[in-house]
């Protein structure tokens, strides 16, 4: 049995060594911040790289309540879930109309939407801020859900339109003969058959919006309505002195993503890559 | 059948919401933004007065703008080149090992899904003077440089540090894009080349590289636009008041002008410069990497 096995060449060994070093480069900062967050301030200054002698969980309670990270996480969650659901619904509806249905302006609409993918968010920040302040949408969660939704739509429509186009027309024809309406076709044929697309676009939408900083920072000034990246940036700054608590805050901000990622990493990596290729 | 797909009401119901949102939240604001860039905003009267090209001529004279533009272009070039090289190296090496490929891939991709605001803060501590990397260097007897506050040279040290962090965070994406493309290449091409006495390196140079050229274009335009939009990392890794704007990029300059000094017109002009740069970068990259689709 063993004779059939190829001997590992020195090159392969070198490659493994290289990737182990890379893994250290990637994991060490994250492990360091986790360990540091459990120390006292003195311990951290005296021996930044030692293992904590006594776990200081108070750092977390402090960051969660005083840093308002608990509230912020709730806000982030609401914003991201609402945006996700709306993007999926509105985006796939538009994608169905553009990809499957027959109308003169279908291609023009697609180009119009694709231009939106090029535009950096910074360029519409000022007009949106001014307009939203006028109609009373500034400083409210709805005020950031609307732009998030709009900026998530292009990729969603683009990818979903591809999925809908690949569904064979015969399926719809037979449904049509059975007296199925166009709305029912969309909800009970097109959508279920494009689950992969929904997963990929949903993932991209959620990750992007969960991490978005600039727009949320500009639009929200009320501490109770801030999202996670904003509250974190405010809590952790060069002027604060208790490093251990700030480390705890950083860990709170990244740990949910790390847990979800560890559980579904293969699907997430493949999904996001697929989305990036098509977008 | 065709009739049901031409149902006007359904089309309006399906495409309407997205198109309306798009027009109201994206298209009209872009036009407004371009209009604002020719105006001066007065906070007292809350009104805009048309001043022609003055914002742009001011921009051309603004020393902070020069620094910001220099830094942004540095990030653009650095991220395009470094992500291309590192992404290709990582993807090329990873496709050559079997055991543990997924583990390494997932580890390197991890920072891409994490918030760059949080990672920026984390790296700020690592490169800060009291904690982090300089302590490690001290232990082996080297006095580390002042990573985040050394301002000598054309491209100052903190910029290199931030560019490195950006590479660290996002190289996983380039790597995955190249890996996806490499795994799509027909294995028989490699077999044929090995029969002809090709080494692995030669196969990489003459088969893999030409075949993933379209993906290089895609990945690079993603990097280019991403690096021009660069905000979170810079904003969280730097102390905005300390360094006399040496660490500004276009996005932070725009943010400060608009939301610290309420110079909406001036900031909009920066935004217009940003859009133009994005367009130019995408066009140039598409031109450079435009290839006929190979048969795969």
Domain ranges of chain A: 8-58, 68-235
Model pLDDT, residue B239: 67
> B37-288: which CATH architecture?
Orthogonal Bundle (1.10)
For chain A, give the percent of residues with pLDDT over 70. Answer: 93
How far is B249 from B270, CA to CA, in rounded Å?
11
How far is A123 from A30, CA to CA, in rounded Å?
33
Q: Do A23 and B235 touch (CB under 8 A)?
A: no
Confidence at A257, pLDDT banded by 50, 70, 90? confident
Confidence at A3, pLDDT banded by 50, 70, 90? very low
Domain ranges of chain B: 37-288
B13 burial type by CB count under 10 A (0-12 exposed, 13-18 middle, 19+ buried): middle
Angle at A89 between CA A87 and CA A92, to 5 degrees: 90
Angle at A132 between CA A127 and CA A138, to 5 degrees: 125
Q: Do B93 and A15 touch (CB under 8 A)?
A: yes
Residue B105 forms contact with A (CB below 8 Å): yes
Interface test with B, best of A11, A94, A122 (most B CBs within 10 A): A122
- The yes-or-no verdict on residue A4 having pLDDT over 50 is no
pLDDT in tens, B258-271: 888 888 888 888 88
pLDDT in tens, B124-142: 888 877 777 777 777 777 7
How far is A129 from A134, CA to CA, in rounded Å?
9
Chain B hits for A127, Cβ within 8 Å: 28-30, 32-33, 36, 268
Model pLDDT, residue A85: 92
Model pLDDT, residue A279: 55
- The yes-or-no verdict on residue A56 having pLDDT over 60 is yes
Interface test with A, best of B121, B161, B263 (most A CBs within 10 A): B121
- The yes-or-no verdict on residue B296 having pLDDT over 50 is no
Chain B hits for A36, Cβ within 8 Å: 131
Nearest CA in chain B to A131: B29
pLDDT in tens, B224-275: 888 888 888 888 887 665 556 777 888 888 888 888 888 888 888 888 888 8
pLDDT in tens, A84-119: 999 999 988 888 888 877 787 878 888 888 887 777
- H helices of chain B, in order, are 2-5, 8-22, 28-36, 54-61, 63-94, 101-113, 116-126, 133-139, 157-183, 187-195, 200-203, 209-211, 213-229, 232-237, 250-259, 264-288
Query: Which phi and psi (to 5°) does residue B48 adopt?
Result: -110, 130
Topology annotation, domain A68-235: MetI-like fold (1.10.3720)
Residue B87 forms contact with A (CB below 8 Å): no
Mean pLDDT of A172-196: 79
Interface test with B, best of A23, A98, A125 (most B CBs within 10 A): A125
Nearest Cα residue to B247 out of B256, B277, A230: B256
How far is B159 from B252, CA to CA, in rounded Å?
14
How far is B280 from B24, CA to CA, in rounded Å?
26
Confidence at B35, pLDDT banded by 50, 70, 90? confident
Which helix (DSSP H) or strand (DSSP E) does residue A31 occupy?
helix A10-36
Full-model pTM: 0.84
Confidence at A7, pLDDT banded by 50, 70, 90? low
Q: What beta strand segments (E) does chain A contain?
A: none
Q: Do A268 and B116 touch (CB under 8 A)?
A: no
Residue B206 forms contact with A (CB below 8 Å): no
Q: Which CA distances in Å does A70 have to A34, A74, A183, A230, A251?
A: 18, 6, 41, 13, 13
Contact A91, A153 (CB under 8 A): yes
- The yes-or-no verdict on residue B7 having pLDDT over 80 is no
pLDDT in tens, B63-75: 888 888 888 889 8
């Amino acid at each position: 049995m063993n004779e059939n096995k190829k001997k590992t060449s020195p090159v392969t060994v070198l490659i493994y060594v290289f990737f182990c070093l890379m893994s250290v480069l990637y994991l060490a900062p994250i492990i360091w911040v986790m360990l540091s967050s459990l120390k006292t301030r003195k311990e951290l200054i005296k021996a930044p790289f030692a293992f904590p002698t006594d776990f200081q969980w108070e750092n977390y309670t402090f960051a969660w309540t005083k840093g308002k990270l608990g509230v912020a996480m709730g806000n982030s969650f609401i914003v991201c879930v609402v945006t996700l659901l709306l993007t999926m619904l509105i985006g796939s509806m538009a994608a169905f109309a553009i990809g499957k249905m027959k109308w003169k302006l279908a291609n023009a609409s697609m180009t119009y939407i694709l231009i939106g993918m090029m535009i950096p968010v910074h360029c519409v920040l000022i007009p949106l801020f001014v307009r939203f302040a006028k109609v009373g949408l500034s400083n409210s969660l709805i005020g950031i859900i609307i732009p998030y939704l709009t900026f998530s739509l292009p990729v969603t429509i683009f990818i979903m339109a591809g999925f809908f186009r690949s569904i064979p027309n015969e399926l719809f024809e037979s449904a049509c003969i059975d007296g199925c309406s166009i709305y029912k076709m969309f909800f009970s044929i097109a959508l279920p058959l494009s689950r992969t697309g929904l997963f990929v676009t949903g993932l991209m939408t959620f990750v992007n919006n969960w991490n978005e900083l600039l727009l949320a920072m500009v639009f929200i000034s009320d501490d109770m309505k801030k999202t996670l990246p904003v509250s974190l940036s405010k809590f952790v700054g060069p002027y604060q002195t208790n490093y251990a608590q700030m480390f705890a805050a950083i860990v709170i901000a990244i740990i949910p993503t790390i847990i979800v990622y560890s559980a579904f990493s293969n699907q997430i990596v493949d999904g996001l890559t697929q989305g990036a290729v098509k977008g | 059948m065709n009739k049901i797909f031409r149902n006007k009401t359904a089309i309006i119901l399906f495409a309407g919401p997205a198109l309306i949102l798009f027009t109201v939240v994206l298209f009209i604001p872009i036009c407004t933004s371009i209009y604002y860039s020719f105006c001066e905003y007065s906070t007292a009267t809350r009104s805009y007065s048309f001043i022609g090209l003055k914002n742009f001529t001011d921009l051309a004279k603004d020393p902070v703008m020069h620094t910001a533009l220099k830094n942004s272009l540095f990030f653009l070039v650095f991220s395009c080149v470094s992500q291309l090289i590192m992404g290709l190296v990582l993807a090329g090496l990873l496709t050559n090992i079997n055991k543990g490929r997924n583990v390494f891939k997932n580890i390197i991709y991890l920072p891409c899904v994490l918030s760059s605001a949080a990672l920026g803060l984390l790296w700020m501590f690592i490169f800060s003077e009291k904690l982090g990397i300089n302590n490690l260097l001290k232990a082996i007897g080297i006095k580390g440089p002042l990573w985040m506050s050394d301002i000598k040279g054309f491209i100052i040290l903190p910029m290199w540090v931030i560019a490195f962090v950006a590479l660290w965070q996002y190289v996983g994406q380039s790597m995955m894009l190249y890996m996806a493309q490499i795994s799509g290449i027909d294995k028989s091409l490699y077999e044929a080349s090995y029969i002809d006495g090709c080494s692995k390196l030669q196969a990489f140079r003459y088969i893999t590289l030409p075949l993933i050229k379209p993906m290089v274009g895609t990945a690079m335009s993603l990097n280019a636009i991403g690096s021009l939009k660069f905000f979170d990392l810079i904003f969280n890794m730097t102390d905005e008041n300390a360094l006399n704007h040496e660490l500004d990029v276009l996005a932070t300059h725009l943010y400060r002008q608009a939301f610290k000094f309420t110079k909406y017109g001036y900031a909009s002009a920066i935004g217009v410069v940003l859009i133009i740069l994005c367009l130019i970068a995408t066009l140039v990259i598409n031109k450079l990497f435009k290839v006929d689709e190979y048969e795969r």
